[in-house]
Amino acid sequence: MQDFIKTSLEYIEHNLKTDITLEELEELAQTANYSVRHYCRRFSQVTGSSVANYIAKRRVNYALAEISSGRKAIDTILDYGFDTYSGFYRAFVKKRQIFRKVCLFSLSNLSNSLPMKSTLLRRSYKSV
């Protein structure tokens, strides 16, 4: 993997609980000697997703890991930059691509701060 991608991924991982601004993205692009546009294009080519989608997916994954370890769902959701429970729900469904009814049942359990089962039924919308 290219060095600028490694640096970017490390930066993103360390700053998931904060807003990553355009200025910070510009700094990452400048360290790689790329324009922001070219940097985003190269990031997408290497990782398979845009910078914004990558960050959203990582935030959802980390939030789910913390919730499943017993932390209160609402505290975790707010820490990872989701403004509301419904915002997390939408990101969760979009990134995890699971049935909405299964998701509603699982998230209702999460809101009661119960540990999340790791065996959620994952199916893509295409198979519906």
Model's pTM, two decimal places?
A: 0.70
Identify the DSSP state of 80: T
What pLDDT is attached to residue 34?
A: 92
At 44 the pLDDT is: 93
Reported confidence tier of residue 125, pLDDT bands at 50, 70, 90: very low
Within 10 angstroms of residue 60's Cβ, the number of other Cβ atoms is: 20
Collapsing DSSP states into helix, strand and coil, what is residue 82? coil
pLDDT, tens digit, for every residue of 66-119? 888 888 888 888 888 888 888 888 887 777 665 555 555 555 555 454 444 333
* Gap between the Cα atoms of 43 and 61, Å rounded: 20
Give 13-49 pLDDT, tens digit per residue: 999 888 888 899 999 999 889 999 999 999 999 999 9
